[in-house]
C-alpha cells in the first residue's frame, strides 16, 4: 500500500503530510526550549548570588555559531539540488552539512572537557577561588590509587579508631574500599562486641557474630537480614497493638474527634516486649590499630572527633590535615562576598581587605592591589569619556562606573597581564588563540602568574568543578547546550541516513526524497534557530 | 511543495545572501557585546544591552525562519500550528511570572530568621 499524501498535497491543508507533521513537532520543540529559556530568565532574575556574566570563552561558541549557520545554508542547497535532480550536488552539500555537525559536537566536547576539570571553591566568607587542583606527587612521580588513576589533592584524611555502620544503609562498594585501605595501612577492622540477638519469638538470644570478627560485606549482609526480619516482625506487632488501642479509645469515647484522642493513645511497650525480636540498626567495628583513612569530600561530612559518611557510617577519629591543594589558581572572585557585605551595610573594600584570602595569601594580596589600580584607572577613563551628571540635590555622579564584576573579580586574563608586566614571557599569537579554547596556558605563563595554593579544609564552604553542582547558571548551561547537542546528533543522523542510503529512494521516487530532505532540513534549521538564541544568552550576556 | 526548479534556482541566490547576512549578524552580536563603543545604557550589561542582543538574535532567527524554512510563503495551517506554540510558551511564562509577583505571604518566611 502506498502512503498517501507524501508527494501530492492534501486538499484541506494544501500541504503533503510530512510538512504538517514536522511543523507540529517543531511546535512541541518550541514548547521544550521555550520552557528552558523562560527558566533561565526566572533563575537569573531571582538569583541570590552574583550571576556569572561572560564567564565562558566566546571563541568556541562563535565558531560553533558560524559552523551551524553554514550547515543551515548547505542543507537548503542540498534540498534545492534534489529538487533540481542533481544527485552529485546533493551528496556534496549534505556531506558538508553532516561534517559541520561533527565539528560542532567536537568543539562542544572540548568545551565540556575544559569545564569538568576546572575547580571552583567558595570559602567560608564567600570569597570564590577558581583554578586547577594538583595531583598527588611522591618525589616527582604521580601517586596512583588502587585503580591506577591519579589522585587529586582534594581528599579528607581521618585517623579512624572506630566505624559504626548502619545495618540498613551501608554502601557495599565503600565497605570494600575501606577494607582495601585497611590492608594498605596494615590495620584490621574488627567487630567491637559480640552480637547477640533474639531472632525467634520466645527463644533466647543467638550469637550472630563474635567480637573480633573481621569486617566484611557478607557479615554486614547477615546482620542486615536479621535486622530487617526483626524490624518487620516487630512493626507488625506494634501496628496491630496500635490499631487495637485506637479501636478501644474510639469505642470508649464516641463523641470525641480523632485529633483529641491522639495524645492519649499509645501502645504498652512493656507488654509487647517479650514478643519482640532484637533490632540491630547500627554495628560498631574497632580499627586495630587506628589508621588514617581517605575519603572523597563529597562522600563525607567531616567534623572533629566524629565524621559521617553519606551512607550513615559514623567514623570516630581525629580529622587530619586535609587541605584542598590548587596546582594553579587562575581567578579570585569577591563579588559574592561583596554582595553579602553590601546587604549588611559593610563597605565592600573593607570586607575584602578583611577576608581570609587576602590575609593568608601574599599572592592574593598582591593581585588585589594590582587589580585596584586597574579599577581606579578604568574609573578615571570612564569619567573622562562619559563625564558626570548633577542631579536636583546637587549630588555629582559619574555617568558610567565600573561594573561589580570589573571591580571585584580578578580573572585569569588579568593575572596573566600582571605576570607579563612583571617580566613573565608573552605568548605567541597561536598560543593566545588556543588559550581562548583551553583556558590559561600554565606551562608558558608559569607558576608566577598562576601559583600553587593550599587551602585548609575548614576554609572550604562549598567546592565543585564547573558543573551543574556549582551554580544554577552551569546547571542551565549544561542542560540547554546538552539538550541542543542531542538534537544536533539526532538531526545529523537523519541527514546522514539520507546521504548514505538515499540513492535507492532517489531512483524510485525523487520527489518523495526531496520532501523528506526538506522536512529534515526544517528540523536542522530549528536546531540552528535555538543555537542563535543560546549563544548570546549563555556566552555574551 | 509546489516549488518549481526555476523558482528554486532563483532562491539559491537569496539563500546565499541571507547566509551572508547571518554571518554578519553573528559578528555584530559579538561586537555589540564586547566592543565598549557599542555599550548602550549603563556601563556593563544592563537591560538595554539585553534588548539589543535579543533584537539582533530575533532578526537572525526571523531570517532563518522566513527564508530558509520557507515561512514567507507557507500555508495558513502551518502558521497556526507553529505560531500557537509561541503563544503557549508566553502564556506559561506569564503564569510563572504572575506566581512570583503574587506571593503567598508567610510571616515567618519573610522575617529573615
Within this chain, do residues A202 and A184 fall inside the same structural domain, yes or no?
yes
A288, containing H or E segment: strand A282-295
Mean pLDDT to the nearest integer, B27-53:
88
Please give the Cα distance from B73 to B64 (Å, whole number): 13
Cβ separation A80–B15 shorter than 8 A: yes
Each residue of B41-65: b (16+ CB within 10 Å) or e?
Answer: eebbbeeebeebbeebbebbbebbb
- Gap between the Cα atoms of A400 and A411, Å rounded: 22
Same domain, A403 and A483: no
User: Considering A279, A299, A321, which residue would you say is the last residue of a domain?
Assistant: A321
How far apart CA A470 and CA A340 sit, in angstroms, is 18
Residue A302 domain-assigned? yes
Query: What distance in Å separates the CA atoms of residue B93 and residue B104, rounded to the nearest whole number?
Result: 19
CA dihedral A278, A282, A288, A292 (to 10 degrees): 180
Residues of A in contact with B85 (CB under 8 A): 26-28, 30-31, 34
User: Would you state the cell numbers that stand for residue B92, as one nine-digit string?
Assistant: 506559561
Report d(CA A449, CA A438) in Å as an integer: 16
Clarify whether residues A444 and A476 are in a common domain. no
Number of domains in chain B: 1
Give the cell for residue B28. Answer: 555584530
pLDDT category at B113 given cuts 50, 70, 90 is low
- Confidence at residue A1, expressed as pLDDT on a 0 to 100 scale: 67
**Which among A321, A348, A370 is the end of a domain?**
A321
Nearest CA in chain A to B5: A84
Judge residue A61's burial from the number of C-beta atoms within 10 Å of its C-beta, 0-12 exposed, 13-18 middle, 19 or more buried.
Answer: buried
Q: Are A302 and A319 in contact (CB under 8 A)?
A: yes
Cell of A308: 559521617
pLDDT band at B58 (very low <50, low <70, confident <90, very high): very high
Q: Is the pLDDT assigned to residue B112 strictly greater than 80?
A: no
Nearest-5° angle of CA A275, CA A281, CA A282?
140
Same domain for A460 and A479?
no
- Whether residue A140 is contained in a domain is answered as no
B45 interface with A at CB cutoff 8 Å: yes
A436 and A508 assigned to the same domain: no
What CA–CA distances, in Å, run from A321 to A103, A151, A177, B35?
46, 16, 21, 47
| A137 is a domain residue | no
Q: Are residues A163 and A311 in the same domain?
A: yes
For the cut 90, the answer to whether the pLDDT of residue B12 exceeds it is no
**B25 band by pLDDT with thresholds 50, 70 and 90:** very high
- Cβ neighbours, 10 Å, residue A432: 13
Gap between the Cα atoms of A420 and A426, Å rounded: 6
Do both A168 and A283 map to the same domain?
A: yes
In a domain, A131, yes or no: no
What is the rounded distance in angstroms from the CA atom of residue A355 to the CA atom of residue A349? 10
Residue numbers of A between 374 and 403 with CB closer than 8 Å to B: 382, 386, 400-403
Q: Does any CB of chain B come closer than 8 Å to the CB of residue A77?
A: yes
Q: Which of B4, B28, B30 to mutate to test the interface with A (most CBs of A within 10 A)?
A: B30
DSSP state of B77: H
- Give the C-alpha separation, A327 to A163, whole Å: 33
Residue A316 lies in a domain: yes
Cβ-nearest to B43 among A70, A403, A528: A403
Cα maximum dimension of chain A: 92
Which of B30, B42, B78 has the CB atom closest to A23's CB atom? B78
Place B40 in a pLDDT band, splitting at 50, 70 and 90.
confident
Interacting residues of A364 by C-beta distance below 8 A, sequence separation 6+ = A332, A357, A358
Q: Do A540 and B53 touch (CB under 8 A)?
A: yes
CA distance A30 to chain B (A): 6
Q: Residue A57 in 3-state DSSP?
A: coil
Work out the pLDDT band at B1, boundaries 50, 70, 90.
very low
A34-76: pLDDT as tens digits: 999 999 999 999 898 999 998 899 999 999 999 999 999 999 9
DSSP state of A263: G
Using the predicted structure, report yes or no on whether residue B2 has a pLDDT greater than 60.
no
- Is B77 near chain A, with CB under 8 Å? yes
Our CA angle for A461, A466, A468, nearest 5°, is 85
pLDDT for residue A351: 96
Per cent of chain B over pLDDT 70 is 96
Does the beta carbon of B85 lie under 8 angstroms from any beta carbon of chain A? Answer: yes
Stretches where chain A sits below pLDDT 50 are none
**What's the pTM?**
0.88
Q: In whole angstroms, what is the distance from residue A157 CA to residue A295 CA?
A: 6
Tell me: do A272 and A171 sit in the same domain: yes
The total domain count for chain A is: 3
> Chain B partners of A16 at a C-beta cutoff of 8 Å?
1
Q: What is the CATH number of the domain that holds A54?
A: 1.20.120.80
Residues A182 and A314 in one domain: yes
Q: Answer for the pair A185, A245: CB distance below 8 angstroms, yes or no.
A: no
Burial of A198 (0-12, 13-18, 19+ CB in 10 A): middle
CA angle A414, A417, A423 (to 5 degrees): 145
A444-A446-A452 Cα angle (round to 5): 145
Q: What is the mean pLDDT of residues B67-94?
A: 91
Show residues of chain A in contact with B92, CB under 8 Å. Answer: 34-35, 38
Is-contact A118 A470, C-beta < 8 A? no
Is A9 part of any domain? Answer: no
A167: DSSP letter: T
Which pLDDT belongs to residue A64? 96
The whole domain housing A259 covers: 156-321
pLDDT value at residue A436: 86
Q: Is residue A536 less than 8 Å (CB to CB) from chain B?
A: yes
Task: Name which of A386, A518, A528 is nearest B64 (Cβ-Cβ).
Answer: A528
Answer whether A523 touches B (CB < 8 Å): no
Q: What is the DSSP string of B57-72?
A: HHHHHHHIIIIIT-GG
* Containing structural domain, residue B50: 5-111
Distance CA A347, CA A378 (A): 20
Question: Of the residues A433, A465, A497, which one is the last residue of a structural domain?
Answer: A465
Cβ distance B8 to A84 less than 8 Å, yes or no, reads: yes
Strands A409-410 vs A388-390: parallel, antiparallel or unpaired:
unpaired
> What is the spatial distance between Cα B16 and Cα A534, in angstroms, rounded to a whole number?
24
A-chain residue closest to B67, CA distance: A76
Answer yes or no: do A421 and A442 share one domain: yes
User: Could you give the 3-state DSSP secondary structure of residue A319?
Assistant: strand
Domain membership flag for residue A130: no
- Give the pLDDT of residue A347: 96
Mutate which: A35, A69, A80, A375, vs B, most B CBs within 10 A: A69
CA distance A404 to A51: 11
Measuring CA to CA, which residue among A159, A156, A158 is closest to residue A457? A156
> How many Å apart are CA A405 and CA A49, to the nearest integer?
12
Over the stretch A306-353, which tens digit does the pLDDT of each residue have?
A: 999 999 999 999 999 999 999 999 999 999 999 999 999 999 999 999
| Chain B residues with CB-CB distance to A541 below 8 A | 33, 45, 49-50, 53
Contact criterion met (CB < 8 Å) for A400 and B89: no
Q: How many CB atoms lie within 10 A of CB A535?
A: 23
Could you tell me if A381 and A255 lie in one domain? Answer: no
Same domain flag for A165 and A234: yes
Quick check: is A143 in a domain? no
Of the residues B44, B76, B99, the best mutation for testing chain A's interface (the one with the most A CB atoms within 10 Å of its CB) is B44
Amino acid at each position: 500500500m502506498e502512503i498517501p499524501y507524501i508527494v501530492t498535497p492534501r486538499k484541506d491543508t494544501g500541504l503533503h503530510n510530512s510538512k504538517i507533521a514536522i511543523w507540529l513537532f517543531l511546535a512541541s520543540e518550541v514548547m521544550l526550549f521555550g520552557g528552558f529559556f523562560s527558566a533561565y530568565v526566572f533563575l537569573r532574575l531571582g538569583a541570590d548570588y552574583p550571576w556569572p556574566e561572560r564567564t565562558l570563552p566566546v571563541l568556541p561558541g562563535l565558531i560553533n555559531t558560524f559552523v551551524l549557520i553554514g550547515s543551515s545554508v548547505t542543507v537548503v542547497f542540498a534540498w534545492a539540488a534534489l529538487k533540481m535532480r542533481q544527485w552529485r550536488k546533493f551528496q556534496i552539500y549534505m556531506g558538508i552539512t553532516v561534517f559541520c555537525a561533527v565539528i560542532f559536537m567536537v568543539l562542544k566536547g572540548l568545551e565540556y572537557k575544559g569545564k569538568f576539570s576546572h575547580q571552583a571553591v567558595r570559602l567560608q566568607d564567600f570569597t570564590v577561588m577558581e583554578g586547577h587542583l594538583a595531583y598527588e606527587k611522591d618525589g616527582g612521580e604521580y601517586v596512583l590509587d588502587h585503580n591506577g588513576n591519579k589522585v587529586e589533592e582534594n581528599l579528607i584524611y581521618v585517623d579512624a579508631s572506630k566505624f559504626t555502620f548502619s545495618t540498613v544503609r551501608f554502601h557495599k562498594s565503600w565497605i570494600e574500599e575501606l577494607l582495601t585501605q585497611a590492608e594498605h595501612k596494615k590495620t584490621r577492622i574488627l567487630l567491637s562486641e559480640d552480637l547477640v540477638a533474639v531472632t525467634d519469638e520466645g527463644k533466647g538470644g543467638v550469637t550472630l557474630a563474635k567480637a573480633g570478627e573481621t569486617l566484611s560485606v557478607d557479615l554486614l549482609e547477615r546482620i542486615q537480614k536479621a535486622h530487617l526480619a526483626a524490624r518487620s516482625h516487630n512493626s507488625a506487632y506494634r501496628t496491630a497493638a496500635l490499631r487495637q488501642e485506637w479501636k478501644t479509645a474510639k469505642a470508649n469515647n464516641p463523641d470525641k474527634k480523632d485529633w483529641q484522642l491522639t495524645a492519649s493513645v499509645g501502645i504498652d511497650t512493656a507488654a509487647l516486649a517479650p514478643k519482640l525480636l532484637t533490632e540491630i540498626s547500627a554495628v560498631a567495628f574497632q580499627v586495630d590499630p587506628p589508621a588514617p583513612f581517605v575519603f572523597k569530600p563529597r562522600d563525607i561530612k567531616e567534623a572533629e572527633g566524629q565524621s559521617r559518611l553519606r551512607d550513615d557510617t559514623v567514623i570516630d577519629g581525629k580529622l587530619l590535615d586535609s587541605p584542598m591543594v590548587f596546582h594553579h589558581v587562575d581567578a579570585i572572585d569577591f563579588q559574592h562576598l561583596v554582595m553579602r557585605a553590601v546587604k549588611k551595610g559593610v563597605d565592600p573594600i573593607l570586607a575584602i581587605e578583611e577576608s581570609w584570602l587576602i590575609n593568608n595569601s601574599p599572592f592574593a594580596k598582591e593581585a588585589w592591589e594590582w587589580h585596584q589600580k586597574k579599577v581606579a584607572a578604568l574609573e578615571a577613563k570612564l569619567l573622562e569619556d562619559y563625564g558626570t551628571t548633577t542631579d536636583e540635590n546637587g549630588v555629582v555622579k559619574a555617568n558610567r562606573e565600573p561594573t561589580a564584576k570589573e571591580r571585584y573579580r580578578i580573572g585569569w586574563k588579568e593575572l596573566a597581564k600582571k605576570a607579563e608586566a612583571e617580566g613573565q614571557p608573552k605568548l605567541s599569537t597561536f598560543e593566545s588563540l588556543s588559550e581562548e579554547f583551553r583556558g590559561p596556558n600554565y606551562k608558558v605563563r608559569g607558576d608566577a602568574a598562576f601559583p600553587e595554593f593550599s587551602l585548609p579544609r575548614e576554609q572550604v564552604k562549598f567546592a565543585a568543578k564547573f558543573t551543574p553542582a556549582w551554580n544554577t547558571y552551569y546547571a542551565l548551561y549544561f542542560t540547554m547546550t546538552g539538550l541542543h547537542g542531542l538534537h544536533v546528533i539526532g538531526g545529523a543522523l537523519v541527514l546522514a541516513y539520507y546521504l548514505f542510503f538515499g540513492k535507492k529512494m532517489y531512483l524510485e521516487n525523487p520527489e518523495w526524497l526531496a520532501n523528506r530532505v526538506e522536512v529534515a532540513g526544517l528540523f536542522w534549521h530549528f536546531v540552528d534557530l535555538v543555537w542563535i538564541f543560546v549563544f548570546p544568552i549563555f556566552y555574551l550576556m | 511543495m509546489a516549488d518549481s526548479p526555476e523558482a528554486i534556482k532563483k532562491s539559491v541566490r537569496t539563500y546565499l545572501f541571507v547566509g551572508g547576512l547571518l554571518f554578519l549578524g553573528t559578528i555584530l552580536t559579538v561586537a555589540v557585546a564586547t566592543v565598549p563603543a557599542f555599550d548602550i545604557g549603563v556601563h556593563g550589561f544592563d537591560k538595554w544591552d539585553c534588548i539589543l542582543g535579543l533584537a539582533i538574535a530575533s532578526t537572525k532567527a526571523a531570517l532563518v525562519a522566513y527564508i530558509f524554512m520557507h515561512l514567507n510563503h507557507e500555508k495558513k495551517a502551518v502558521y497556526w500550528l507553529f505560531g500557537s506554540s509561541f503563544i503557549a510558551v508566553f502564556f506559561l511564562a506569564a503564569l510563572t511570572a504572575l506566581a512570583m509577583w503574587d506571593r503567598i505571604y508567610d510571616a515567618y518566611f519573610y522575617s529573615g530568621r
